[in-house]
Chains A and B, each alone.
Chain A
Amino acid sequence: MDIDTLLRLFSPQSLTVLALCTLYGTLVGAMPGLTATMAVALLVPFTYVMDPLMAISAIVATTTTAIFAGDIPGALLRIPGTPASAAYVEDAFQLSSAGKSRSTLLISLLAASIGGIVGVVLLALIAPQLARVAIGFSSHEVFWLATLGLSCAVMTSNASVIKSFASLFIGLFIACIGIDVAVGHPRFTFGWYELFDGVSFIPAIIGLFALSEIMRAASSGKRQPPPIEVRETLPQACREAIATLARYRRNVARSSVAGTLIGALPGAGADIAAWICYAFSKRFSRQPERYGKGHIEGIVDGGSANNAAIGGAWTPALVFGIPGDSVTAIAIGILLLNGLSPGPRIFTDNPEIVHTLYGAFALTNLLMIPVGIAVIALSSRIVRVPRRVLMPIVLLFSLVGAYAITNSVVAVWIVLALGILGHAMEATGFPLAPAILGIVLGGIVEENFMTSMIKSQGDLLAFFERPWAAALGVLTLMVWTVLLCRALYEGYKRQRALSFNAPKREPR
């Protein structure tokens, strides 16, 4: 890292932005139902007035802290603040019920901070090497990479394979709206010239994540449970947290590395990393029977994995220009708006972007510790902010934020349409993540597919002619095979479960 970047990072302006975003991320993450993706989407209008370096730092700071802060309502209310905290919410809640909420949260804060730093160190080591390979990629390879990302999104979602695929195709269809890339024919715009540019991404994200969440809150009349009382003093909790982390230092190391690598898969983000590392932790633990009943080991693993994944998710984004999750997708959008296109060339053409990114990550993960301790001390007040105050605020920021992106009312309609879609999909068990990636990557996939088709005069075998293209293509086909097998297995399992269960349940 050069001196210039360091000076820029430690300038008062940049430090203020980082501190504000750390605070903002913590607060949003700590509110049950407000996710890290939503925090970033609502931040986008503000990044318009920043220079791109500052905007990237702001995004990094917000996601890093929001993912950690998602643990707070998980521990105190049993409601994960972001999906990334869902894996170990049961353990966290049980521990808090036993009066250990502060030490639990401190452990996940420190684990998150270490995980985040490991994540960015690995990113800094791996990404430039990959970029050297990626610089020779043509439309064939990019097509396969994007397709692989989409397939991974289906593979790593927790829902049924059919529904994940359906969600993906919905996203791909939405990406088709607007002028087409090949000949400039307007598609599915119904004469609305505002749609010629396509469905703008930020209003789409705001609709899918923010409005659908408000709708969910409106349709469930349930009141929040009261948060658990805190019975530990802060210094006591600190001592215990450090002791626990020292005991489980191997878990932290293992899950930080694994989380980064999982995050680096296009399509898999922090939530998947947390689930997988939690499962691994249980498999290798000496006390697997205590998982889910208030055992700290899983929290150490999941907490470090999900923050490590945030750094990892930037690998495909920076190296290939293919976002690893919805947050990096937003970040890529911001870079593009500033005339910087992510891809292997960014390492040679705009190294300051890459260095600022690394620096912002490292700095945020350190800043997060004091801010996090303060928030943990106040946490039971923060999670008590009532929904009837919170939801109107989120609604206005969503609508005005969307409007600010496009300066037209069309944004409001996009938010509404995709909000209804997102709510309907969630209510019927369709995962949202594949749709988001479909919207983001649809354009890239189509553009590279059409370019390749035109180059090869429609010869599909050309997609396997170059060595990297062939390797990526075969990998993608393998993922598809796995998915097909899993879909068949799901159907088989359901049938069996039914034929076993049906007679047993009849007497009731």
Chain B
Amino acid sequence: MTRTDLFPGLLLVLFGALVFWRASTFPSMAGLPYGPGLFPSIAAVGLMVCGVLLLISTLLIRQRPTPASTSAQSEEDQNPPMHHRRAGIRLALLVLIVAGFGLALEPLGFHLTSLLAITATALLFGLNLPRALCLSVSLIFGVHLLFYSLMNVPLPWGVLTPLAW
């Protein structure tokens, strides 16, 4: 366990408290002291206890000159911050692509949205543009046949509705 556990620990405590507070507002069953809030409260207490234990064990270790911090430093030496930043950007871009897919799927339609999203993902992973386009067009064609034609999944057509087949 390293100092990186501090943040997850805090998050668990805060999230548990939030869940507990929401659960306490749920109504109870007629004539019984407990209701829909009971089970989420148990989960919330569990989350808070785990969070507190993580915090305690992390803080106890931090008071000493820890080998954890030295090893963390040497890790940073091996992976320059530039690498970290690039990884973070790629991760954020991927999240944006998926979020964009969710937002655009119904208004724009499955085909156009997938074309954009898959091309972007392929570019993100280092494919060049012609190949990325090739990959996504053939992929969309395959998925269309498999899901829409074969399995009757109502994939939305969006702006292409007049062309639907």
Hey, which bits of chain A sit against chain B, CB under 8 A? 45-46, 48-49, 160, 162-163, 165-166, 168-170, 172-173, 176, 180, 182-183, 185, 187-188, 211, 214-215, 217-221, 387-389, 391-393, 395-397, 399-400, 403-404, 407, 409, 412-413, 415-416, 419-420, 423, 428-430, 442, 445-446, 449-450, 453-454, 458, 487, 491, 494-495, 498-499, 501-502, 505-506, 508
Contact = CB atoms under 8 A, between A and B. Distances in A.
Contacts of A416: 95, 98-99, 102
A399 B87 contact: no
A166 B11 CA distance: 11
Interface in B67-99: 67, 70, 83, 86-88, 90-91, 93-95, 98-99
B93 to A, nearest CB: 8
Given A412-B98, A450-B39, A458-B33, 5 more contacts: A169-B16, A172-B46, A400-B143, A412-B102, A416-B98
Interface string B23-59: 1001101001111101110111011001101100100
Contact of A491 (B57, B67, B102): B57
B67 A396 contact: no
A340 B105 CA distance: 33
Contacts of B53: 162, 487
20 contacts: A48-B151, A162-B54, A165-B46, A166-B50, A172-B43, A217-B125, A219-B90, A221-B86, A389-B122, A392-B118, A393-B135, A396-B114, A396-B136, A400-B110, A419-B98, A420-B95, A423-B91, A442-B39, A453-B32, A502-B65
Contact of A218 (B91, B102, B140): B91
B163 interface: no
A144 B153 CA distance: 39
A498 B154 CA distance: 59
A478 B29 CA distance: 32
Contacts of A445: 39
B60 interface: yes
A218 B36 contact: no
Given A396-B114, A458-B34, A502-B67, A218 B50 contact: no
Nearest to B48: A169
A392 B136 contact: yes
B50 A165 contact: yes
A458 B70 CA distance: 53
B127 A388 contact: yes
A389 B127 CA distance: 8
Given A218-B91, A219-B87, A49 B151 contact: yes
Contacts of B19: 173, 188
Contacts of B70: 505, 508
Nearest to A388: B125
A404 B153 contact: yes
Contacts of B8: 166, 428, 430
Closest 7 CB pairs of A and B: A180-B36, A388-B125, A166-B50, A169-B46, A412-B102, A219-B87, A404-B153
B33 A173 contact: no
Interface in B1-27: 1, 4-5, 7-8, 12, 16, 19, 22-23, 26-27
Interface residues of B, number: 76
A501 B147 contact: no
Contacts of A442: 39
The CB with the most chain B CB atoms within 10 A, among A217, A415, A416, is that of A416
The CB with the most chain A CB atoms within 10 A, among B124, B135, B151, B153, is that of B153
Contact of B121 (A166, A220, A391, A450): A391
Interface of B: 1, 4-5, 7-8, 12, 16, 19, 22-23, 26-27, 29, 32-36, 38-40, 42-44, 46-47, 50-51, 53-54, 57, 60-61, 64-67, 70, 83, 86-88, 90-91, 93-95, 98-99, 101-102, 105-106, 110, 114, 117-118, 121-122, 124-127, 132, 135-136, 139-140, 143, 147, 150-155
A416 to B, nearest CB: 5
A165 B51 CA distance: 10
Contacts of B136: 392, 396
B36 A187 contact: yes
B121 A409 contact: no
A450 B42 CA distance: 13
Given A400-B143, A412-B101, A449 B39 contact: yes
A389 B143 contact: no
A186 B163 CA distance: 40
B52 to A, nearest CB: 10
Contacts of B121: 391-392, 395
B34 to A, nearest CB: 7
Contacts of A409: 102, 105-106
A167 to B, nearest CB: 9
A501 B137 CA distance: 57
A45 B151 contact: yes
B67 A182 contact: no
Contacts of A508: 70
Contact of B40 (A176, A183, A391): A176
Contact of A399 (B57, B90, B98): B98
A206 to B, nearest CB: 11
Contact of A183 (B22, B35, B152): B35
A45 B65 contact: no
Contacts of A505: 67, 70
Contacts of A413: 102
A468 to B, nearest CB: 23
A165 B49 CA distance: 10
Contact of B64 (A48, A172, A404, A498): A498
B36 A183 contact: yes
B26 A185 contact: yes
Contacts of A403: 105, 153, 155
A492 to B, nearest CB: 11
A454 B122 contact: no
Contacts of B91: 215, 218-219, 423
A168 B50 CA distance: 10
A445 B64 CA distance: 42
B143 to A, nearest CB: 6
